[in-house]
């Protein structure tokens, strides 16, 4: 029997978001051999979340009866400002208490397996570029609009992650100097005006201020419910979604003027909010951005859904193998 080489072994890829944790074992051919979801309970703090990551790794390895030594590597995509080189989660608006946590080395030491750490939106853009909406596109930007807003950048066909690996924090671009304070410490960030959390918060605020709406359970309103109400013609919900769409449009104008990309891919929950959220935002890009890049850019929904992050984390690991000549 010939010896199995590292690149032929699968990667255990993890996508650690602010709400959910997805683990998957992915072969070099892009086949998903196992997958597992759990909740993060980020409010319980880093130690507790890290225990949950270990449980998920143990459980998915058990699921297909393999040992850590039978993995090419473990690759973690995490929400926040990631120092890829040092393997640190330096800070994260969606993981309270995470400051310079050496997540890569903690996992590596526990399982004695090569481990990588990248930003979740960087992973997602790698995933969409290799297997999703961005195949064959040289310059593209991914916006994942979920609880927060993440951004990933492909330039000249390669992931651009900046000097420390933190590039792409497009959700934390100020578009309104008088806007609300963001958990990142900045003000008027795109994320504070467009994300799922922002849509829910704005609706709740307006109802509490006395505006009328068909939404009644004020303490528990979700972005999905606001969207549904807007689709049903609720005036307040429509106004909130339209305001978010306007801000998304302005954010995309900035992207178009700065990057002149071939494509902007919109992922996360918002990818499915086409008519009410994405279409008015596209209209603003056509009206407000420079004409030539506005006419060039394709604005399209993501194709891989929740799998983009784990696919991208796996691609990142295989690419790092190639660089290391393994």
CB of 15 to its own copies, least distance (A): 20
CB of 295 to its own copies, least distance (A): 9
Contacts to its own copies from residues 282-321, by CB under 8 A: 287-293, 296-297
Can residue 257 be called a binding residue for its own copies (CB under 8 A)?
yes
Nearer Cβ to its own copies (98/311): 98
CB of 207 to its own copies, least distance (A): 23
Can residue 252 be called a binding residue for its own copies (CB under 8 A)?
no
Question: In terms of Cα–Cα distance, which of 199, 194, 192 is closest to 225?
Answer: 199
CB of 179 to its own copies, least distance (A): 8
Question: In terms of Cα–Cα distance, which of 318, 309, 319 is closest to 24?
Answer: 309
Helix or strand holding residue 54 (H, E): helix 46-63
Can residue 157 be called a binding residue for its own copies (CB under 8 A)?
no
Query: How far from chain centre, in Å, is Cα 286?
Result: 25
DSSP state, residue 138: S
Nearer Cβ to its own copies (12/297): 297
For CA atoms 64, 68, 73, 78, give the dihedral sign: positive
CB of 163 to its own copies, least distance (A): 5
Alpha-carbon span 72 to 125, nearest angstrom:
22
Sole binder of its own copies in the list 177, 209, 217, 219 (CB under 8 A) = 177
Token readout for 179 is 């806007």
Can residue 164 be called a binding residue for its own copies (CB under 8 A)?
yes
Can residue 173 be called a binding residue for its own copies (CB under 8 A)?
yes
Sole binder of its own copies in the list 163, 209, 217, 219 (CB under 8 A) = 163
Residue 275 CB neighbour total at 10 angstroms:
11
Residue 297 CB neighbour total at 10 angstroms:
24
Sole binder of its own copies in the list 7, 30, 45, 162 (CB under 8 A) = 162
Q: Look at residue 185 and give its three-state secondary structure.
A: coil
Q: Which residues pair with 91 in a beta bridge?
A: 81
Residues in the chain: 326
Binding site for its own copies (CB under 8 A): 81, 83, 90-91, 138-139, 151, 153, 155-156, 160-170, 172-179, 184-188, 246-247, 250, 253-254, 257-262, 287-293, 296-297
């Amino acid at each position: 029997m010939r010896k199995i080489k590292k690149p032929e072994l699968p990667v255990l890829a993890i996508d650690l978001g602010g709400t959910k944790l997805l683990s998957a074992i992915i072969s070099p051919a892009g086949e998903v051999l196992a997958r597992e979801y759990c909740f993060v309970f980020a409010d319980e703090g880093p130690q507790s979340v890290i225990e949950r990551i270990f449980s998920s790794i143990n459980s998915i390895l058990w699921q297909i009866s393999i040992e850590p030594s039978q993995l090419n590597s473990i690759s973690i995509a995490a929400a926040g400002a990631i120092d890829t080189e040092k393997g640190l989660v330096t800070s994260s608006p969606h993981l309270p208490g995470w400051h310079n946590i050496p997540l890569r080395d903690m996992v590596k030491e526990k399982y004695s397996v090569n481990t990588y750490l990248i930003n979740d939106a960087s992973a997602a853009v790698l995933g969409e570029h290799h297997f999703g909406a961005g195949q064959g596109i040289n310059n593209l930007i991914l916006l994942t609009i979920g609880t927060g807003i993440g951004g990933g950048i492909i330039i000249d066909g390669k992931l651009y992650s900046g000097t420390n690996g933190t590039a792409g924090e497009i959700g934390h671009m100020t578009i309104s100097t008088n806007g609300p304070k963001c958990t990142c410490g900045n003000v008027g960030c795109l994320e504070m005006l467009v994300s799922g959390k922002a849509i829910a918060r704005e609706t709740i605020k307006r109802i509490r201020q006395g505006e009328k709406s068909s939404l009644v359970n004020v303490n528990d309103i979700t972005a999905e419910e606001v969207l549904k109400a807007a689709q049903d013609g609720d005036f307040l919900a429509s106004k909130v979604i339209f305001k978010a769409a306007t801000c998304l449009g302005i954010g995309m104008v900035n992207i178009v003027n700065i990057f002149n990309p071939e494509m902007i891919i919109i992922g996360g929950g918002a990818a499915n909010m086409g008519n009410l959220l994405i279409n008015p935002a596209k209209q603003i890009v056509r009206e407000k951005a420079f004409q030539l890049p506005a006419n060039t850019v394709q604005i399209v929904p993501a194709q891989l859904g929740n799998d983009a992050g784990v696919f991208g984390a796996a691609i990142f690991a295989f690419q790092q193998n190639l660089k290391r000549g393994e």
